[in-house]
Amino acid sequence: MTRILSPDSPPAEQFTDAKKAVERLILLYQQATGFLTEHFQKAMDEAATDTRIRAFYPEIRFTTSTYAQVDSRLSFGHVSNPGTYAATITRPELFKHYLTQQIGLLIENHGQPVVIDVSDTPIPVHFAVSGDAAITIPHEGAAEFTLRDVFDVPDLSTTNDDIVNGTYTPLNGVGALAPFTAQRVDYSLARLAHYTATDPDHFQCHVLFTNYQFYVTEFEEYARAMLRDPDSGYTSFVSTGDVEITDGDAPLPGTGKTPQMPTYHLKRANGSGITLVNIGVGPSNAKTATDHIAVLRPHAWLMVGHCAGLRNTQQLGDFVLAHAYLREDHVLDDDLPVWVPIPALAEIQIALEDAVEQVTQLEGYELKRIMRTGTVATIDNRNWELRDQSGPVQRLSQSRAVALDMESATIAANGYRFRVPYGTLLCVSDKPLHGELKLPGMASGFYKTQVARHLMIGIRAMELLRDMPLERLHSRKLRSFEETAFL
């Protein structure tokens, strides 16, 4: 039998102070990852022994024998039924503000302490050493020992979305306290760093998605203007490669290779700033980005991209505010059946419409000249126009669609699935059903006049949402019958 070497586990401890509970989580996590990092480096420098090296994620556990007496309008911060609930935790320093907030609500609403302990879930060595840039995990066969014989490695059988998909079966009667397990979070944090070329630490709570690089230039210009304004509340701007500036006039050196999804962060205290992700084109990219950003528990994400206008009355440059989605993207069919309705969220819709009014200086009936509210269809075929038109056009007409793109319904559906408030404001860049295709000569003038205004509307909407109480933004509309206590 192989001997297992693990760090000494301190006894479980109860807390009625959320800040102290989080401090305990941080200590346990640092002890575990420090232990794994030290022994991994030793194994690489010297030689691995026949001893298995193992450390475990910290855990939050909560037990209540009574139903919570809470404001019925509050959709989070309490458990639905008496029982025991638990969540494994990773990177507690990164999630410090979130954990303090969620644990605090749980203690307050139930009048019961939380227990912080070491879980029985091993930490894969890949995730434990990820914070040390000097350490790399060798590929299978590259080291002088078999990695899996000595250390725990990522296990996809336990890295899944069972909790958020509603298919989770409690183990030993212990329910889920949070929407993601520690392994699932660690996996997504690693993927985010890979796809966006920025550390997850930089991500803000309000995320804008776009499908064109033109928006990035405008976002950088806006960020620089905010950094020049000492009263803006914004503290720094981060570009790909984790290049960070605090001076609006500072240069941003190039980082060479462009990542698959270039991402930029305009930061504020407690992550209340804005992140812009250029997801590129297609529903697969949209799903990939939102799958991983969801573990950061953002307060809202919005799609601000280009679309095909489907009505002859629309003009290039008009805006479309989605109030329904026709899902023909297919990438989420296994996770969220197409018969599940994706509702418009009133708080997001109002913020977007108010932002359009403020930026364009139009309101009421005049606003209808440049903005339509209606169904947005998302399709997985970029060249759908080349197919037999009878089928697609009929479905678009029956759905009352006013716009077509390849990302919006995916982002909205994943927002619904992950309980992240979502919305869509698109800009018409072509009208393929009416002879106005997206051609270079037409597009150049459109881009010059509309990109800056469109992006400013998205930014202004996020600023309006930032000032909204969390209990109003994270409403019951996104919550099912029995939900995790944590957002």
Check residue 388 and give its pLDDT.
58
Taking only the tens place, the pLDDT of each residue in 251-305 is 988 766 788 899 999 999 989 999 999 998 889 999 999 999 999 999 999 999 8
Q: Is the pLDDT of residue 133 over 70?
A: no
Residue 479 has pLDDT above 90, yes or no: no
Confidence category of residue 159, pLDDT binned at 50, 70, 90? confident
Predicted TM-score (pTM) of this structure? 0.92
Q: Which helix (H) or strand (E) holds 165?
A: helix 162-165
pLDDT bin (cut points 50, 70, 90) of residue 49 is confident
Is the pLDDT score of 249 beyond 80?
yes
Question: Would you say residue 386 has pLDDT above 80?
Answer: no
293-341 confidence digits (pLDDT tens): 999 999 999 999 888 888 888 788 889 999 999 999 999 999 999 999 9
Q: Is the pLDDT of residue 441 over 60?
A: no
Give dist(CA 175, CA 453) in Å, integer.
47
Q: What is the mean pLDDT of residues 469-483?
A: 85
Question: What integer best gives the mean pLDDT of the chain?
Answer: 88
Res 368: pLDDT = 85
Distance between CA atoms of residues 220 and 222, nearest Å? 5
pLDDT at 370: 86
- Other CB atoms within 10 A of residue 270 CB: 12
Question: Is it the case that residue 446 has pLDDT exceeding 70?
Answer: no
Mean pLDDT over 164-173 rounds to 88
User: Higher model confidence: residue 302 or residue 385?
Assistant: 302
Nearest-angstrom CA–CA distance, 318 and 320: 7
* Residue 257, pLDDT score: 72
Residue 442 reports pLDDT greater than 70: no
DSSP labels, 189-234 = HHHHHHHHSS-GGG--SEEEEES-THHHHHHHHHHHHHHH-TTS--
Cα–Cα dist 91/450, whole Å: 40
62 neighbors 33 (Cβ within 8 angstroms): no
Per-residue pLDDT averaged across 208-216, rounded?
90
Per the DSSP assignment, residues forming a β-bridge with 104 are none
Question: Residue 148's pLDDT band (boundaries 50, 70, 90)?
Answer: confident
Asked whether residue 131 carries a pLDDT value surpassing 90, the answer given is no
The average pLDDT across 420-442 equals 73
pLDDT score, position 391: 60
Q: Return the pLDDT at 325.
A: 95
Residue 301 to residue 351: CA distance in whole angstroms: 12
Q: What average pLDDT score do residues 102-119 get?
A: 94
pLDDT at 50: 80
pLDDT at position 134 over 80: no
pLDDT over 60 (residue 434): no
